Amino acid sequence: MKLVDHLNHGLRKVPVWLVYTLGAALPFWYLYLGLTGGLGVEPIKALEHELGELGLQTLILGLAVTPLRAITGVNLIRLRRVIGVLTFFYVAAHLLVWLVLDVQILSEIWKDILKRPYITVGMAAFILMTPLAITSNNWSIRKLGPRWGKLHKLVYPTAALGGIHYIMVGKTWEAESLLYMAVILVLLGWRVNDSRKKQRSRAIHQRNSARPA
Amino acid sequence: MAYKNVLKYSDVTPKADYMNRRQLMGGAAGLFAGMAMGPALGASKYSTDATPNTFEEISSYNNFYEFGTGKDDPARHAHQLTIDPWSVQIDGMVDKPGSYGLEDILKKVSQEERIYRFRCVEAWSMVIPWYGFELNQLLDMAGVQPGAKYVAFETLVRKEEMPGIRTVNVDWPYREGLRLDEAMHPLTIMATGIYDKPMPKQNGAPLRLVVPWKYGFKSIKSIVRVTLTDKQPLTTWNMLQPREYGFYSNVNPEVSHPRWSQATERTIGGGLFAKRKETLMFNGYEEEVAGLYSGMDLAKNF
């Protein structure tokens, strides 16, 4: 057996409920750290930052599933839903920390959403993710049919907006957020390229099959 | 003395004791020539009576991009910095330009404790018990020439000891500047310590500026050059984002940063559930400094 097969064999054995449990526990772990001094002397921003970054990381991981399988053969498709749902959970927690612990003042929250472009962008990303989280179940897939796939393409603009949001939060152009954006762009770019290739091969296939035998 | 719930730093040493000690110190001053870092010599009239942050808080949460952009990068990397010997190049429109050794400077100035509010442009704040001397003493030492209108400052650039110089995209050296009247104001100090300790390296050892009514980035750290000039000097944050960081950068709750409000601030040390506090005009130093800007549109000259 090849290494990839070993890896895939192992991945098939990972219980999905365990990934849900451990993944969902992470924000509570950070909350605990924040309460006990583990996030430094300014735990509010630190917690907000950790959760936001976690959301971006899982978002990137979710986007990487398809290219990873196409390029290396490693198959994470069974875990794609849990990755997506956790992403939403992290981003929602990030938003909640911003609302409750950071801004605190209700009138300021609305003003910030409208007046601060980086918050507008972040909120837009969150809104785009919401229907994806709601429809992350078998019932919705059956119910929506082919429209489900189309709907879930919303993850692409979500990722781009998330990356832009991170860049805009920085006081200046910061290497870390630029790196995240670069990875997101590579993953989105791969899809553009891939769908072009598929279109081309479909066109060739059609031409060939249209030829009289 | 009535029981007080909130202890102040000045409460650590009872007043009678430090008054006595001041007399002793007065006698000792001739011997030590101000070189020793004395204990608090009584409260300056410029000090706030707000409770200072702990030394741990002040020295673990810093912006000092020469050591990296993370808040904990300076505390992690600044130990590499050598600060002895240290000298400051004073040049431009002064009578006595030249390289001034820090020890020689400290022999000629009088230092005292100043407990100041410190407000970062990122909307967080601390209260810091600085130890230092008024910048006007240093400027008088060098002899400011009549035509000078501004003071420019530069931070040390030393690649081998400052990892951020290579990794952070800034046109080094870090530069700051003040109008001459701002620089001469008695609130403006050159700080050499915090509490009764020498300045931690991550806080800008051995010599840094503190301008308490301006956003923290104006208070340039680890200063190696002071230049008197008749032109408004270039300042690093203004060079990076002119729309967001003005030359003046006075604390002003009414003028928002383009990307966030400056109306309130998070006080460091309040933990996860710290309430936001309203930001004060000129960071609470309005009475002392508003006169410097009379007739100026502060929304334009932000």
Secondary structure (3-state) at B17: helix
Q: What is the mean pLDDT of chain A?
A: 92
User: Both B221 and B273 in a single domain?
Assistant: yes
Exposure string over B65-103, b if 16+ CB within 10 A, otherwise e: bbbbbbbbbbbebbeebebeebbbebbbbbeeeeebebe
What six digits make up the tokens of A134? 């709601």
**Measured between CB atoms, does A49 come within 8 Å of chain B?**
no
Please state the rounded mean pLDDT for residues A165-175: 88
One domain for residues B174 and B66: yes
Residue B5 inside a domain? The answer is: no
Tell me whether residue B2 is in a domain: no
One domain for residues B88 and B123: yes
Instruction: Enumerate the residues of chain A whose CB falls inside 8 A of the CB of residue B271.
Output: 35, 43
Give domain status of residue B23, yes or no.
yes
Residue A209 is predicted with a pLDDT of 75
Check CB contact under 8 Å for A42 and B61: yes
Q: Which residues of B touch A34 (CB under 8 A)?
A: 272
Is there a contact between B274 and A44 if contact means CB atoms under 8 Å apart? yes
Q: Please determine, for residue A172, whether its predicted confidence score (pLDDT) is greater than 50.
A: yes
**Is the per-residue pLDDT at A163 higher than 60?**
yes
Structural domain boundaries of chain A?
A: 3-199
A45 part of contact set with chain B, CB < 8 Å: yes
Compute the count of residue pairs across chains A and B with CB atoms less than 8 Å apart: 61
pLDDT digits (tens), chain B, 302 positions: 444 455 445 555 544 454 444 444 444 444 444 444 444 456 899 999 999 999 999 999 999 999 999 999 999 999 999 999 999 999 999 999 999 999 999 999 999 999 999 999 999 999 999 999 999 999 999 999 999 999 999 999 999 999 999 989 899 999 999 999 999 999 999 999 999 999 999 999 999 999 999 999 999 999 999 999 999 999 999 999 999 999 999 999 999 898 888 999 999 999 999 989 999 999 999 999 999 999 999 999 99
Half-sphere exposure of B292 (CA within 13 A, CB side): 22
Q: How many domains does chain B have?
A: 2
User: Which is nearest to B145 in space by CA: B225, B223, B91?
Assistant: B91
C-beta separation of B301 from B248 below 8 A = yes
pLDDT at A1: 65
Instruction: Specify whether B171 is located in the same domain as B27.
Output: no
Q: Distance between CA B2 and CA B18 in Å, rounded?
A: 19
ipTM of the complex: 0.79
Q: What's the pLDDT tens digit per position in A29-71?
A: 999 999 999 999 999 999 999 999 999 999 999 999 999 999 9
Task: Name which of A192, A135, A133, A136 is nearest A160 in CA terms.
Answer: A192
Most confident of A109-113, A177-181, A199-203: A177-181
| Residue B18 counted as domain residue | yes
Half-sphere exposure of A109 (CA within 13 A, CB side): 13
Of B240, B241, B272, the CB nearest to A101: B272
Tell me, yes or no, whether B246 and B204 share the same domain.
yes
| Terminal C-alpha separation, chain B | 44
pLDDT of residue A206: 81
Q: Are residues B54 and B19 in the same domain?
A: no
Q: Please tell me what DSSP assigns to residue B222.
A: S
Choose between A211 and A102: higher pLDDT: A102
Are B30 and B94 within one domain? no
Range of the domain at B15: 10-42
In this structure, is residue B178 part of a structural domain? yes
If asked whether residues B180 and B274 sit together in one domain, one would say yes
Q: Do B276 and A105 touch (CB under 8 A)?
A: yes
Smallest CA–CA distance from A42 into chain B, residue: B268
